Chain A
């Protein structure tokens, strides 16, 4: 019996994009249901009543919310390319880094972007990014030779930060300071499964211009 997989999302969301990449890695056929966040569908509200946000994955009628929770579900429900390591300790490390990116890096990046690259905000984000820079030592991806949960969690850094820099004329990912992160970003966005999941560059650039651009 065929699986029915639907992903509720919007084109420009980095969180939706995370899930798309995971689905691509497992080669899962799915329907993308485009939401209008200013006019949310009854389905979305039914499937994610707590947050009323995208992404939501619906698998054979069962809804799952929160991008990293969805990705872990995808990894457990479907065989194929592993997104998390099998070993318990390696798995714990991957989860630690994904949580660090979500809890620390992401908010710090938003702050730096929203403040138009204000010095203190950028210094704060640099402090967090330095840990990621160090973690990439001797590795092509956070997952080693192949991407894993940590790389996917950091999609915003690989693609959206550059778009924000372009849109607002600011610099966050400085080459001198973060050579490995920049190299990683290049490699990451060139992975086929990632490329297939990313929106066109103009989308996040336009978003940042609209949301944070000077009038």
Chain B
């Protein structure tokens, strides 16, 4: 019996993109359902009533929300390319780093744009990025996953692609090749991976005022 896989999405979302990368890594056929976040469909509200957000994966009528939860689900259900390691300890290390990126790095980065480049925010973000930089240096591999990407690389997709666009759009540049050579090299390699390249949105940079307003509203001083 055919699997039915739908992905409720908006174009340009790094979180949606994480799921698309995972689906493509496994060679899964899926249908994108484009959402308008200013006018959410009754389906989306029905499938994700708690957070009312994308991405939502619908697999044979079962909805799953939260991008990294979805990616783990995909890895569990479909064989093929392993997104997480099999060994429980190695798996826990991967989950630790994915959580670090999601819960610590990305919010710190958002704060930079939310505060219009406040010195303290930039220092905070650089502190977290340095941890990733050191981790890449210690591993000495092309990706966090080694020769191939894994959950950590997927979780860090924002850093590889969106961060640069935001820096350019807001004119707040702080992630340089001098300061973070390993991260920049990793980012270059990541966006060239076939399945990633296939699903990355076009490089569209909104106007500076619009970007800063959006970030200030959502991630400005709490």
List residues of chain A with CB under 8 Å of any chain B CB. 50, 59, 62, 64-66, 68-70, 72-73, 76-77, 88-89, 91-93, 95-96, 99-100, 103, 131
Contacts and interface: CB of A to CB of B under 8 A. Distances in A.
Contacts of A88: 73, 76-77
Contacts of B99: 66, 68-69
Given A50-B100, A69-B99, A96 B65 contact: yes
B64 A89 contact: yes
Nearest to B49: A131
Interface stretch (B88-96, B154-162, B206-214): B88-96
Nearest to A60: B89
Contacts of A69: 92, 95-96, 99
A76 B91 contact: yes
A142 B89 CA distance: 27
Nearest to A69: B95
In the A-B complex, the 5 residue pairs with the closest CB atoms? A76-B88, A73-B92, A92-B73, A88-B76, A92-B64
Interface string B57-94: 00100101110011011001100000000001101110
B38 interface: no
A44 to B, nearest CB: 15
Contacts of B89: 59, 62, 64, 73, 77
Interface of B: 50-51, 59, 62, 64-66, 69-70, 72-73, 76-77, 88-89, 91-93, 95-96, 99-100, 103, 131
Nearest to B59: A89
Contacts of B77: 88
17 contacts: A64-B93, A65-B96, A68-B99, A69-B92, A69-B96, A70-B92, A72-B95, A73-B88, A73-B89, A76-B91, A77-B89, A88-B76, A92-B64, A96-B65, A100-B51, A103-B103, A131-B50
A88 B60 CA distance: 13
Contacts of A100: 50-51
B66 A99 contact: yes
Given A50-B131, A100-B51, A64 B64 contact: no
Given A59-B89, A65-B96, 18 more contacts: A50-B100, A50-B131, A64-B89, A64-B92, A64-B93, A64-B96, A69-B96, A73-B88, A73-B91, A77-B88, A89-B62, A89-B64, A91-B73, A91-B76, A92-B69, A92-B73, A95-B72, A100-B51
B66 A96 contact: yes
B84 to A, nearest CB: 11
Contacts of A73: 88-89, 91-92
A115 to B, nearest CB: 13
Contacts of B50: 96, 100, 131
Contacts of B100: 50
Given A88-B77, A100-B51, A95 B88 contact: no
A196 B99 CA distance: 29
A89 B62 CA distance: 7
A131 B49 CA distance: 9
A131 B48 CA distance: 12
Contacts of A103: 103
B66 A95 contact: yes
A68 B65 CA distance: 18
